């Protein structure tokens, strides 16, 4: 059985015990002060007793400092250790969650849970719970103290404390409804903000930056609204609760006046038991707020548990070893949303060590096919095979070991050029990295930089141009040298100079015998492919070589004629 990452440790429990002890020691002060006040009221001042009491109070104070220091430190270390274990567990867990989860709008939710929610749960462990048990222990000591002076007074204070129960029930309902909604809206807002920051250049270029960005402003408005509703329903409940808690003061004053007038209570005792309801009301309010905070932060705990309990990839982690690397789709279906198919019963074979091109209209399902091959998505029906072996039940990590990818959107780490390329094969030597860069047509521009291969790329490669990033991506693919190569419109969105450089780099990449699947927006690039698949409406509409498809005079032929006509008009 796997270790529970939420399990508390010994230091945490030691911290809680010491917090309780500090709360009890705070209550002991009243017993000593009570005896001193009675002595002073009686006019029988005893220096020895005063000295004893002063030393006892000083001793309790010193003991409280020691207990508090050790308890606070232990609870901090213990709670931080738990949150550290949770973070490590979630980091490992993320590796096991199906990749399709990260392409269905879940990224913001994961970011929110792993950062904000884990921090919230750490706050529960290191502060909230410790303060709660200390305040509760202190309140119990006050009730015991009042009961020690006058038993009915202790019962009155205990009954006042019971008032908390119905109000806490109402408060917890508010937290459950609005706190949960606030957490959900917060995750959506994080997703919007991540998207906004990622695309800030585009947004500003089109004049939809800042408050003009409707998606971000709408999500932040939702967050503002639910936060307002949360406070609107929570504050009145807390205010009414405070009124009832403070009723303990007049009730105690009236109830204890009879015994005072009859001589059963002395003035010192009466004064103390009438003052303590005020302190108890403040402490009870702190307990109530602490429990509300605990309940609210517990939503974060539940979110963490949701990730812990998320289904993991069930595929085999055995290495995917096949003699050949042809790719076969057999009646494959796929949809993001039920009853809205993206691919429908598509069947085709990508021959081993041959180039297959996929063309078609935007949104026809071309990129989805590549995502299914790489197991970023899982098919909803049918079988996908590599080298005759079905990959439906093979872990994505094992499939991706056989694949090199060059996308139109290149991700680079905030590291040097050399280390970014080395990610493709961590054991690669510097010489191998530089050889790959020469093949990818990027060695030239790298060496012109002041620090050469040790030049930082910036966050997601923002210090490089689009063409430079694309060629580094090709260098990674060359270095990895996997038997299968997937190219997703690698020359899209580039200027003419960079497009030519990238095409030359791709040509070098294709020299090696690999099983290649290429998506292209320009048909002239793929006219020499061994096979061209024409995707339309989620189906394979046509398949064949360039000349075979032209002879069919179908969709491909129409696309070719339109492209040629456009090329002529540009001249």
Let me know whether 428 and 517 are in one domain.
Answer: yes
Answer with the one of 308, 342, 364 that is the final residue of a domain: 308
Q: Which of 433, 442, 485 is nearest to 466 (CA)?
A: 442
CA distance 357 to 552: 17
CA distance 443 to 453: 9
Strand 484-488 with 403-407, pairing = parallel
CA distance 103 to 378: 11
Question: Is 314 within the bounds of a domain?
Answer: no
Answer with the one of 279, 308, 337 that is the final residue of a domain: 308
Query: How many independent structural domains does the chain possess?
Result: 2
% of the chain exceeding 70 in pLDDT? 93
In this prediction, residue 490 carries a pLDDT of 64
Question: Is 4 within the bounds of a domain?
Answer: no
pLDDT, tens digit, 9 for 90 and up, residues 249-279: 999 999 999 999 998 999 999 998 999 999 9
Task: Categorise residue 479: left if φ over 0, alpha if ψ from -120 to 50, beta otherwise.
Answer: alpha
Instruction: Decide if pLDDT at 1 tops 60.
Output: no
Say which DSSP state 265 is in: S
Question: Is 95 within the bounds of a domain?
Answer: yes
pLDDT, tens digit, 9 for 90 and up, residues 356-415: 999 988 888 888 899 899 888 889 899 999 999 999 888 888 898 899 888 877 888 888
In this structure, what token pair is assigned to residue 276? Answer: 């303590």
Which residues make Cβ contacts (< 8 Å) with residue 248, sequence separation at least 6? 156, 157, 160, 277, 280, 281
| Residue 513 pLDDT class (50, 70, 90 cuts) | confident
- The lowest-confidence range among 417-421, 523-527, 544-548 is 523-527
Instruction: Decide if pLDDT at 155 tops 90.
Output: yes
Question: Is 46 within the bounds of a domain?
Answer: yes
In this prediction, residue 470 carries a pLDDT of 83
Let me know whether 348 and 304 are in one domain.
Answer: no
Instruction: Decide if pLDDT at 99 tops 70.
Output: yes
CA distance 203 to 224: 23
E strand or H helix that includes residue 531: strand 531-536
pLDDT, tens digit, 9 for 90 and up, residues 12-71: 999 999 999 999 998 888 888 888 888 888 888 788 888 888 898 899 999 999 999 999
Q: Which of 76, 88, 98, 105 is nearest to 9 (CA)?
A: 76
In this prediction, residue 211 carries a pLDDT of 67
* SS3 readout for 382-410: EEEEECCEECCCECHHHHHCCEEEEECCC
Alpha-carbon distance values, 284 to 52, 152, 298, 392 (Å): 32, 20, 20, 58
Cβ atoms 315, 395 nearer than 8 A:
yes
CA distance 526 to 268: 98
Neighbours of 197 (CB within 10 A): 10
Let me know whether 143 and 65 are in one domain.
Answer: yes
Instruction: Decide if pLDDT at 453 tops 90.
Output: yes
Question: Is 320 within the bounds of a domain?
Answer: no
Q: Please, what sign has the CA dihedral across residues 517, 419, 507, 520?
A: positive
Q: pTM of this prediction?
A: 0.69
Let me know whether 22 and 51 are in one domain.
Answer: yes
Bridge partners of residue 515, in order along the sequence: 484
Let me know whether 430 and 492 are in one domain.
Answer: yes
Which residues make Cβ contacts (< 8 Å) with residue 540, sequence separation at least 6? 346, 347, 348, 533, 534
% of the chain exceeding 90 in pLDDT? 33
CATH assignment of the domain containing 50: 1.20.1560.10
Helix, strand, coil tally for the chain in percent (to 5):
65, 10, 25
Let me know whether 86 and 163 are in one domain.
Answer: yes
Cβ atoms 145, 215 nearer than 8 A:
no
Let me know whether 134 and 230 are in one domain.
Answer: yes
Let me know whether 287 and 336 are in one domain.
Answer: no
In this prediction, residue 288 carries a pLDDT of 87
Question: Is 1 within the bounds of a domain?
Answer: no
CA distance 221 to 112: 18
CA distance 35 to 265: 14
Cβ atoms 532, 501 nearer than 8 A:
no
In this structure, what token pair is assigned to residue 332? Answer: 């494959």
E strand or H helix that includes residue 297: helix 267-308
In this prediction, residue 454 carries a pLDDT of 93
E strand or H helix that includes residue 99: none
Let me know whether 360 and 503 are in one domain.
Answer: yes
- The lowest-confidence range among 168-177, 178-187, 444-453 is 178-187
CATH assignment of the domain containing 517: 3.40.50.300
Domain housing 225 = 10-308
Mean pLDDT of 316-329: 88
Let me know whether 301 and 357 are in one domain.
Answer: no
Question: Is 385 within the bounds of a domain?
Answer: yes
Question: Is 175 within the bounds of a domain?
Answer: yes
CA distance 301 to 124: 9
Let me know whether 388 and 431 are in one domain.
Answer: yes
Instruction: Decide if pLDDT at 316 tops 70.
Output: yes
Let me know whether 300 and 395 are in one domain.
Answer: no
b/e 112-130 (16+ beta carbons within 10 angstroms → b): bbbebbbebbbbbbbbbbb
Task: Categorise residue 245: left if φ over 0, alpha if ψ from -120 to 50, beta otherwise.
Answer: alpha
| Residue 212 pLDDT class (50, 70, 90 cuts) | low
b/e 217-237 (16+ beta carbons within 10 angstroms → b): eebbebbeebeeebeebbeeb
CA distance 547 to 537: 23
Q: Which of 94, 98, 93 is nearest to 315 (CA)?
A: 98
Mean pLDDT of 546-556: 92
Return the C-alpha torsion angle 499, 505, 509, 511, nearest 10. Answer: 100
Cβ atoms 509, 541 nearer than 8 A:
no
CA distance 317 to 551: 46
3-state DSSP assignment of residue 463: coil
Neighbours of 413 (CB within 10 A): 12
Longest dimension (CA), the chain: 120
pLDDT, tens digit, 9 for 90 and up, residues 222-259: 888 888 888 888 888 888 888 888 999 999 999 999 99
């Amino acid at each position: 059985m796997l270790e529970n990452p939420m399990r508390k440790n010994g230091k945490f429990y030691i911290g809680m015990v010491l917090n309780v002890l500090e709360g009890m020691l705070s209550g002991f002060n009243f017993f000593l002060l009570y005896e001193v006040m009675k002595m002073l009221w009686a006019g029988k001042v005893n220096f020895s007793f005063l000295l004893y009491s002063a030393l006892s109070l000083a001793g309790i104070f010193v003991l409280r400092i020691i207990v508090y220091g050790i308890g606070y430190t232990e609870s901090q270390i213990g709670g931080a250790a738990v949150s550290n274990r949770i973070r490590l567990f979630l980091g490992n867990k993320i590796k096991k969650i199906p990749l399709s989860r990260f392409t269905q709008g879940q990224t913001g939710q994961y970011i929110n849970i792993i950062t904000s929610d884990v921090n919230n749960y750490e706050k529960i462990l290191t502060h909230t719970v410790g303060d709660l048990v200390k305040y509760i222990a202190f309140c119990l000591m006050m009730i015991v103290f009042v009961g020690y002076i006058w038993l009915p007074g202790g019962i009155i204070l205990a009954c006042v404390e019971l008032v908390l129960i119905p109000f806490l029930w109402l408060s917890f309902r508010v937290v459950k409804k609005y706190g949960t909604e606030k957490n959900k809206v917060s995750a959506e807002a994080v997703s919007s903000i991540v998207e906004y920051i990622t695309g800030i250049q585009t947004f500003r270029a089109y004049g939809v930056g800042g408050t003009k960005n409707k998606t971000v402003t709408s999500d932040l408005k939702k967050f503002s609204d639910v936060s307002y509703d949360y406070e609107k329903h929570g504050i009145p409940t807390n205010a009414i609760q405070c009124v009832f808690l403070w009723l303990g003061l007049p009730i105690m004053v009236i109830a204890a006046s009879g015994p005072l007038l009859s001589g059963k209570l002395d003035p010192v005792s009466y004064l103390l038991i009438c003052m303590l309801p005020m302190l108890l009301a403040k402490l009870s309010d702190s307990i109530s707020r602490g429990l509300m905070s605990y309940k609210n932060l517990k939503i974060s705990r539940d979110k963490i548990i949701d990730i812990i309990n998320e289904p993991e990839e069930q595929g085999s982690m055995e290495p995917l070893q096949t003699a050949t690397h042809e790719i076969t789709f057999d009646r494959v279906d796929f949809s993001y949303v039920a009853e809205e198919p993206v691919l429908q019963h598509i069947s085709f074979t990508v021959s081993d060590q041959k180039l297959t091109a996929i063309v078609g209209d935007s949104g026809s399902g071309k990129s989805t096919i590549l995502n299914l091959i790489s197991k970023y998505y899982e098919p909803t029906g049918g079988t996908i095979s590599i080298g005759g072996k079905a990959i439906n039940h093979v872990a994505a990590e094992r499939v991706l070991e056989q694949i090199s990818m060059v996308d139109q959107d290149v991700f680079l780490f905030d590291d040097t050029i050399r280390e970014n390329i080395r990610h493709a094969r961590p054991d690669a030597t510097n010489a191998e990295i530089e050889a790959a860069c020469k093949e990818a047509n990027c060695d030239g521009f790298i060496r012109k930089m002041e620090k050469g291969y040790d030049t930082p790329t910036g966050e997601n490669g923002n210090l490089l141009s689009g063409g430079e990033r694309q060629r580094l991506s090709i260098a990674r693919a060359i270095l990895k040298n996997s038997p299968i190569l997937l190219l997703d419109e690698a020359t899209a969105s580039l200027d003419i100079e960079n497009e030519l450089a990238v095409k030359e780099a791709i040509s070098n990449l294709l020299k090696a015998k690999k099983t290649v699947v290429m998506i292209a927006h320009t048909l002239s690039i793929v006219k020499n492919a061994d096979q061209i698949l024409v995707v339309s409406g989620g189906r394979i509409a046509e398949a064949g070589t360039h000349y075979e498809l032209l002879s069919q005079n179908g969709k491909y032929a129409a696309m070719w004629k339109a492209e040629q006509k456009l090329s002529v008009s540009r001249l």
